[in-house]
Amino acid sequence: MSDRPAGWLSDRELTEVRGAENAYPSPVPTQIVSNGEYNPLPQTENQRKVEGLISEYADKYSKHQGIDRRSFMKSASGFAAAFLAMNQVFGPVWNVSEAEAADKDMADDRAKKLSNQFIFDDQTHFVRDDFDKEGLLGLSKWALEHHWNPKIADTPMTLARLKFENYLKEIYLDSDTKIALLSTAPFDDPSWYFLFNDQLRDAREAINKVAGTRRMFAHAVFTPGQGDWMNEVDRAIAEYKPDSWKGYTIGDPLSPSTKSTTWRLDDEKLVYPFYEKAVKSGIKNICIHKGLLPRDYEKSWPGVWQHATVDDVGKAAKDNPDINFIIYHGALRVFLEDPSYELDLFDKTGEIRWVTDLAKIPEKYGVTNVYGELGTTFATSAVANPRFAAAVVGSLVNGLGVDRVVWGTDSVWYGSPQWQIEAMRRLEIPDDMAKKQGWKISKLGGDDSPIKRKIFGENSARLYNYKITAELEQQLSQDKLAQMKDVYNKEGVERNNAFYGYVGKKTV
């Protein structure tokens, strides 16, 4: 008997994927990585070209710098080489120069200057100590290949990589993330819960106690229509004191069975009483999973997939102006065809399926309390086609407004979030795209521009009443976690380039 839920990749789909740890160990993934909530497309020809160019740059500049390829790939110059390769294949989307790939000191100086940038990751995950579902790894018994990359050849992929100790390393030591919001998801089978609400609370308290500052925030999951769910809401308010709420209108995100309870944000009878409790408690941020469905969602999720759209957001936001609706994944409907098809569709219509629906809500409903979060969506888009990543971010920034797009990475499902941070720092909207779409916000600016500072952290800080002051920034640079990171860096511990989950086997 399989220990994966029914909605996990099917047996047929599992023959089409392999563990992401088998992927090319690039600083940036060279094909789409899935955490299992959707089936990743195979590597495209353009992605294969990127991979080849990265390898060429690694050969050339590792010799130039007098280091081995592996060390180069883990360096700031290695990051630059990856974005340089993508620009060569997809066109100029990333702000990067070949000088960064060639000159170690130049690349390191840039990285050091940006290391104190305030980054608030609005969606992170790890699993509880007794979580035993090997299916979450994306390889195990279903993977047909077990070719470990050099970094982890002597450390087999286990669930330890998705647990607390590795989370601490990947989020706080291997990336420039300063604040992390810890999340989880509801399942029909309770044994599949990554973390329960009380464990979210305990993890938050443990991290903040060790740090001596407020480095972690935490959700509490609410499940309308399931059992005695409102009593759990009352318990959360009284005992867990979450910083925000997390909900899945589709029910169990991996098992759209008849057992799952779907619901709508605009259900006045079922959900509006919850909003009243949330407002009264002062916990007014509600984060909602939308989008990210399998390619055959209409067939495999009948009667469920509609709940992953945003057609219930506008009315709920208008009726409940004191609630902040933070729509996770930007509502992106997963790529059902080749990424070039999605980009062509955008070029022709100016729309990205489901993302544009979200972006239009403020104008359509006259609301200012709807936000778009970028977890998984930005990572997937950046790897699939950088121009599409620019289209997604440009659409959200111009539709929702620069004050209502928030940073999230869905890590540690995809390993350290540093590569995503680097991608956002370097992202720019191409001139021809901005002109064709008639966007008022046509430029995102440099690594630390006002717009990127808002996306990376200022918008979430405002939502969570986290005051960014010079005193706070000094505390974050000197607290216990900062001291741990300083020792970690001085000891020369390398950031790994491991990705966790699934990648497609074939090339299209």
pLDDT band at 296 (very low <50, low <70, confident <90, very high): confident
Q: Using CA atoms, how far apart are residues 440 and 395, in angstroms rounded to an integer?
A: 11
pTM of the model: 0.88
Q: What is the DSSP letter of 154?
A: T
CB within 8 A of 321, min separation 6: which ones?
367, 369
3-state secondary structure of 184: coil
Contact 117, 458 (CB under 8 A): no
Best mean pLDDT range from 64-68, 153-157, 357-361? 357-361
- Which pLDDT belongs to residue 2? 36
One-letter-per-residue 3-state SS of 80-142: HHHHHHHHHHHCCCECCCHHHHHCHHHHHHHHHHHCCCCCEEEEECCCCCCCCCHHHHCCHHH
Residues pairing with 121 in the sheet: 180
Q: Which residues are registered as beta bridge partners of 286?
A: 245, 325
Residues 6+ apart with CB under 8 A from 272: 319, 320
pLDDT band at 180 (very low <50, low <70, confident <90, very high): very high
Q: Nearest 5°: CA angle at 147, between 44 and 340?
A: 10
- Quick: pLDDT tens for 206-254: 999 999 999 999 999 999 999 899 999 999 999 999 999 999 999 988 7
DSSP for 132-145, written as a single string: --GGGGS-GGG-S-
Mean pLDDT score, 172-189: 94
Residue 454 is classified by DSSP as I
Kindly give, in sequence order, each residue whose CB lies less than 8 Å from that of residue 190, ignoring residues fewer than 6 positions away.
none
Digit-coded pLDDT (tens) for 160-169:
778 898 899 9
Percentage of the chain modeled with pLDDT above 70? 82
pLDDT at 11 over 80: no
> In the prediction, which pLDDT does 51 show?
84
Q: Residues near 61 by Cβ (< 8 Å), separated by ≥ 6?
A: 72, 77, 81, 101, 102
Residues 6+ apart with CB under 8 A from 348: none
Stretch 403-427: mean pLDDT: 93
**Spatial separation of the C-alpha atoms in residues 349 and 278, rounded to whole Å:** 39
Residue 154 has pLDDT above 50, yes or no: no
Task: Summarize the chain as % helix, strand, coil (round to 5).
Answer: 50, 10, 45
| Per-residue model confidence as pLDDT tens digits over 307-356 | 999 999 999 999 999 999 999 999 998 755 566 788 888 999 999 999 99
* Cβ neighbours, 10 Å, residue 264: 17
d(CA 322, CA 192): 33
How many other CB atoms are found less than 10 A from the CB of residue 304?
20
Q: Produce one character per residue of 61-82: b if its CB has 16 or more CB atoms within 10 Å, e if not.
A: bbeebebebbebbbbbbbbbbb
Lowest-pLDDT choice from 131-145, 217-231, 265-279 = 131-145
pLDDT of 147 over the 60 cut: no
Smallest CA-to-CA distance from 394 within 348, 362, 432, 433 is with 433
Quote the CA–CA distance of 457 and 188 in Å, as a whole number: 33
pLDDT higher for 138 or 301?
A: 301
Q: By mean pLDDT, which of 154-158, 374-378, 430-434 is the weakest?
A: 154-158
3-state SS assignment for residue 413: coil
> Which whole number is the average pLDDT over 384-404?
96
